[in-house]
Chains A and B, each alone.
Chain A
């Protein structure tokens, strides 16, 4: 569709300032990445430690221990108790968040610039001498258990977990949420062992972005973290399997007023030459508001509030994902329209206008996303953690600029075709099994982990 003549034309793009990335490797193997930035007087810190399960056999226990360790690492060090640690950080405007996913443990915080040395000192204490005191660990374990139970009642999470189990089988990536039973069995000794064996400087990356001087920051890191000397090699996940999509799996959730449709399949990784074309195909399909899926499901039919597709990267495998939460009574038609739009992507070319719009959007949001201290720090942390460097940003922009319609069609045929995608729907099986069955084979299973809602009671 062409825009009305009244619309003001766009001016010439202004070049994004290229971030000055100062990179060094410390004697203990830690990579340090510093980006000085003007703007608000803050520093963002991201410390990424590879933390994948070593083998499929140990994945479930590893996930449970990691979930407890993320909170318990803050419960005390040889020098300070939990409250003192929190207060010392708070005085610098900081609060350390520790989170884990299937690939890594991440320590992240923002701070006022004068606090860099102090915060690095606290981080060094946590890395080198976290104590995992028994009473506090027990309490943390029960909090994690309660939070897991609450998380598991969220339909979006039930759907994501079911899709991961279906796609990854026995691979560690199938472990989206640890089991409450295994969490309950985590001991302080197990946490100390996990910390000793896996919280290692070699393979880890520390990113600092903001109001910092690179040389002074390197000195501060050298002083604070010189004693972090654990030996060993970082563990990354084995390559993720590519499973053949079976029949659609329907996870029963009695009385649900909505159905959560999730489709997923493999996608090219960050260094794959097809990545740019697949990202553009995903945008045209359902990656942003101006996409076919949003126009069809939301704006034309009113089936859903926010359907979307995305390309996500884990170290051992990337994914193309589709999400739509739709009214129960239109579940069948909504799945049909989703598959139709995927098939159309795979078999017929997108328009030049669709491609140009998606391209400018991806380039524009890349610029917006890395314009803040926090956005740049998180992006660089993910890139360096995947073995890449800041140059990837410029290379990827050039790759996005060069993709043509034919390459998008080719990529969509290979990666977006509906026959290649694993599908899961969470919803009221009594009401949606028949309509979904009209679109293709369906396997129904009871809700594996979550309590069934009691509608209308």
Chain B
């Protein structure tokens, strides 16, 4: 261990309160740099979409930037950027978030903007039509016009899972996007964008008492609506191997993704933490097991990575989720050769366990990466917000490094025993690009 465990708990106190309309508020003051981050997380993501409306959570994220009751189109961006701040939003499996990082003196402006669109975004036919076009270009640039564009995050879930929530295309089909109406958008807003279905998290250079007053000034007036029931995304564990093939006409070389079901990240966090370190042990960096085996010892691959959750953050996702190992390999190497090597490396951990000294190294690296994410006010604030929404405890984000430091070799071995070749989902990408 290279750092005392006490040092690994981020020294940022967290304050929380709830408004009468149900909005949960988390404040994480840190006065070292005069910047603040403001984030609103809504408990609605790609997994909440109904059949026929694939891609709608993401399309609606775009609509939230189109103006609101007191903010004309384009003005949201202007008001944040003209204050010296940056903004964005993103749609995940289990939530949609909106955030700004700004000079501290712009805090109230950011609160006004978030409250105004929480109350009444400008859902008009023109704005919807325009953003359907923009989203289609986003899909073209990220998926259709690019080699490996959706690999594997859109293509593996249909193989690994059973339910519509988990298997459908979260970017959306063009047919579903094109047929989206203003009524759909209004219904979606009414149902999911209730203050009681959201967490507001503010971090950085702020005074707690003063900030609570500002929050109440702008958010108390957002009308209360009931929060929708939490979608049930869990699924029974797979009992057989599942395989699929995707042809990528643009890709110059093949690739393969393996997805294993992992423990429930929320209700079985202790077991899940073993899986988090197993993922690091397998794939993180030049000393990792798969980097050694696939790239250096056997020379089967040109690149490999493993991660938990399809978006790469192990702590912002609910059940059911996957540990994904992704390997890009030369055409001369067969998919089966890659699979065999990966399964053998996992099997070694399952059978022989993990030397304590190796686990200490892996843990040190994982801690450094968590701390690095927390280095920026925005990164820290998003971490607190996701922990509050998904795990019900913002404090968890500050404790993760210490929690990982306490994971034992036995926990990692147990995690490896869960990654059976007999229940893995395998997606093979065949390259169509000419050599």
Which residues of A line the B interface, CB within 8 A? Answer: 1, 3-4, 6-17, 38-42, 74, 82-83, 85-87, 89-95, 110-115, 136, 139, 142-143, 146-147, 149-150, 152-155, 255-258, 288-290, 295, 298-306, 325-327, 353, 356-357, 360-361, 363-365, 367-368, 371-375, 450-457
Contact = CB atoms under 8 A, between A and B. Distances in A.
Contacts of B72: 1, 4
Contacts of A150: 147-148, 251-253, 302, 328
Nearest to B286: A86
Q: Which 6 A-B pairs have the closest CB atoms?
A: A364-B84, A302-B133, A93-B368, A11-B105, A357-B82, A86-B287
A31 to B, nearest CB: 24
A129 to B, nearest CB: 18
Interface residues of B, number: 88
A91 B364 contact: yes
Given A90-B361, A110-B368, A39 B292 contact: no
A86 B136 CA distance: 43
Interface string B83-126: 11111000000000000011111101101100000000000000
Interface string B357-370: 00011101101110
Contact of A4 (B70, B108, B299): B70
Contacts of B134: 298-299, 302, 304-305
Contacts of A360: 81-84
Contact of B112 (A7, A15, A16): A7
A38 to B, nearest CB: 6
Contact of B77 (A42, A290, A455, A456): A290
Given A93-B365, A113-B3, A301-B133, 5 more contacts: A7-B70, A149-B252, A257-B140, A298-B134, A456-B249
B84 A363 contact: yes
B291 to A, nearest CB: 8
Given A1-B72, A364-B103, A304 B33 contact: no
Nearest to A258: B145
A357 B75 CA distance: 12
A11 B83 CA distance: 10
A1 B71 CA distance: 11
Contacts of A147: 302-303
Contacts of B175: none
B112 A6 contact: yes
Interface string B131-169: 111111110110011111000000000000000000000
B83 A364 contact: yes
A42 B84 contact: no
A82 B297 CA distance: 12
A59 to B, nearest CB: 25
A364 B144 CA distance: 35
Contacts of A83: 286-287, 292
Given A40-B375, A41-B7, A42-B368, A368 B82 contact: no
A305 B138 contact: yes
